Amino acid sequence: MGQIVVLDQNMINMIAAGEVIERPASVVKELMENSIDAGATKITVSIEDGGRKLMSVSDNGCGMDAEDLAKAFEPHTTSKIKTSKDLHNISTLGFRGEALASIASVAQIKAVSRAKESAGANCVEIDCGNKINTSPASADLGTTIQVRDLFYKLPARRKFLRTANTEMEHITEQFKRISLAKKNLDMTLIHNNREVYRLSGKESFRQRIAELFSSEISENLIDTESDEKGIHIFALLGTPNISKTNNKFQYVFLNGRFIRDKFISHAIKEAYRGILEPDRFPIAFLFIQMPYEDYDVNVHPTKIEVRFYNANLIHSQILGCLREKLLGTELNIHAKLPTTAHTSFDPSTQLGAGPAPFGSEPQGQRQDGKYGLRAGHRSQTITDAMAEFFRRHKPIQTQQQTGSAIMDYYSRQQTADKQTTDTQAYSPAQIGSLETKFLQIHDSYIVEQTDDGFIIIDQHALHERILYEKLSNRIRNSKLESQRLLIPESLEITDAEADAIKKNAELIDKLGIELVPFGPRVYAIQAFPTLLAGAEAIDFARDLIDLLTDKGVGLDPDRLLDEILNMAACKAAIKAGQRLSDSEITQLLADRQRIECAGRCPHGRPTTIKFSLSDLEKQFKRT
Ligand X SMILES: Nc1ncnc2c1ncn2[C@@H]1O[C@H](COP(=O)(O)OP(=O)(O)O)[C@@H](O)[C@H]1O
Contact residues toward Mg ion (CB under 5 A) are 34, 94, 99
Task: Name the CA dihedral angle for 330, 426, 535, 469, rounded to a multiple of 10 degrees.
Answer: 30
User: What residue number has its CB nearest to Mg ion?
Assistant: 94
Distance CA 47, CA 501 (A): 65
Nearer to ligand X, 3 or 84 (CB): 84
Nearer to ligand X, 107 or 570 (CB): 107
Q: Which stretch binds ligand X (CB under 6 A): 44-52, 60-68, 426-434, 513-521?
A: 60-68
Is 366 in contact with 460 (CB distance < 8 Å)? no
Residue 134: CB minimum distance to ligand X, A: 15
| Binding-site member from 23, 29, 52, 96 for ligand X (CB under 6 A) | 96
- Phi, psi of 349, rounded to the nearest 5 degrees: -115, 165
Nearer to ligand X, 13 or 459 (CB): 13
DSSP summary character for residue 89? S
- 32 sits near ligand X (criterion: CB under 6 A): no
Distance CA 263, CA 319 (A): 10
Nearer to ligand X, 128 or 493 (CB): 128
Distance CA 461, CA 369 (A): 9
| Binding-site member from 78, 239, 401, 566 for ligand X (CB under 6 A) | 78
75 binds, among Mg ion, ligand X, none (CB under 5 to 8 A by kind): none
Nearer to ligand X, 38 or 254 (CB): 38
- 34 sits near ligand X (criterion: CB under 6 A): yes
Distance CA 51, CA 245 (A): 29
Which residue(s) pair with 142 in the sheet?
Answer: 114
Provide the CB-side half-sphere exposure for 453 (13 A, CA). 15
CB proximity list for 1: less than 8 A, separation 6 or greater: none
Q: Which stretch binds ligand X (CB under 6 A): 93-101, 186-194, 353-361, 376-384?
A: 93-101
Residue 610: CB minimum distance to ligand X, A: 50
| Binding-site member from 80, 148, 266, 342 for ligand X (CB under 6 A) | 80
Distance CA 215, CA 201 (A): 18
Site string for ligand X, 116-155 (x = CB under 6 A): ---------------------------x------------
> In terms of DSSP bridges, do strands 284-289 and 250-254 run parallel, antiparallel, or are they unpaired?
parallel
Cα distances (angstroms) measured from residue 610 to each of 135, 334, 386, 390? 67, 5, 11, 16
64 binds, among Mg ion, ligand X, none (CB under 5 to 8 A by kind): ligand X
* Residues binding ligand X: number (CB under 6 A): 24
SS3 406: coil
| Binding-site member from 24, 50, 51, 94 for ligand X (CB under 6 A) | 94
472 binds, among Mg ion, ligand X, none (CB under 5 to 8 A by kind): none
Nearer to Mg ion, 112 or 314 (CB): 112
Nearer to Mg ion, 94 or 512 (CB): 94
Q: Which stretch binds ligand X (CB under 6 A): 42-50, 70-78, 449-457, 459-467?
A: 70-78
283 binds, among ligand X, Mg ion, none (CB under 5 to 8 A by kind): none
Q: Which stretch binds ligand X (CB under 6 A): 89-97, 297-305, 427-435, 531-539?
A: 89-97
Nearest residue to 299 (alpha-carbon basis) of 285, 311, 316: 311
Residue 35: CB minimum distance to ligand X, A: 5
Is 414 in contact with 590 (CB distance < 8 Å)? no
Provide the CB-side half-sphere exposure for 207 (13 A, CA). 9
CB proximity list for 593: less than 8 A, separation 6 or greater: none
> In terms of DSSP bridges, do strands 250-254 and 333-334 run parallel, antiparallel, or are they unpaired?
unpaired
- 178 sits near ligand X (criterion: CB under 6 A): no
Q: In the range 392-421, which residues lie near ligand X by CB under 6 A?
A: none
Which residue(s) pair with 44 in the sheet?
Answer: 58, 188
CB proximity list for 486: less than 8 A, separation 6 or greater: none
Nearest residue to 249 (alpha-carbon basis) of 237, 262, 266, 263: 237
Nearer to ligand X, 37 or 384 (CB): 37
Nearer to ligand X, 84 or 348 (CB): 84
Residue 253: CB minimum distance to ligand X, A: 18
Residue 503: CB minimum distance to ligand X, A: 54
- 59 sits near ligand X (criterion: CB under 6 A): yes
Cα distances (angstroms) measured from residue 366 to each of 126, 444, 446? 68, 11, 17
Residues in the chain: 623
Residue 60: CB minimum distance to ligand X, A: 10
Residue 38: CB minimum distance to ligand X, A: 3
| Binding-site member from 41, 42, 49, 77 for ligand X (CB under 6 A) | 77
Q: Which stretch binds ligand X (CB under 6 A): 58-66, 128-136, 315-323, 466-474?
A: 58-66
Nearer to ligand X, 298 or 379 (CB): 298
Residue 127: CB minimum distance to ligand X, A: 18
> In terms of DSSP bridges, do strands 522-529 and 333-334 run parallel, antiparallel, or are they unpaired?
unpaired
Distance CA 535, CA 83 (A): 67
Is 391 in contact with 351 (CB distance < 8 Å)? no
Nearer to ligand X, 143 or 380 (CB): 143
Site string for ligand X, 604-623 (x = CB under 6 A): --------------------
Is 143 in contact with 31 (CB distance < 8 Å)? no
| Binding-site member from 41, 53, 79, 201 for ligand X (CB under 6 A) | 79
CB proximity list for 107: less than 8 A, separation 6 or greater: 27, 128, 147, 148, 149, 150, 151, 152
Q: Which stretch binds ligand X (CB under 6 A): 76-84, 424-432, 434-442, 544-552?
A: 76-84
Nearer to ligand X, 60 or 317 (CB): 60
Nearer to ligand X, 102 or 504 (CB): 102
Which residue(s) pair with 145 in the sheet?
Answer: 57, 111
SS3 282: coil
Q: In the range 286-315, which residues lie near ligand X by CB under 6 A?
A: none
Site string for ligand X, 513-532 (x = CB under 6 A): --------------------
Using the CB atoms, write b or e for 258-291: b if 16+ within 10 Å: bbebebbeebbbebbbbbbbeebbbbbbbbbebe
Residue 423: CB minimum distance to Mg ion, A: 59
| Binding-site member from 43, 54, 62, 535 for ligand X (CB under 6 A) | 62
The kind and range of the H/E element at 222 are strand 221-228
Q: How far apart are the first and last CA of the chain?
A: 91
The binding site for ligand X (CB under 6 A) comprises: 30, 34-35, 37-38, 59, 61-64, 72, 77-80, 94-101, 143
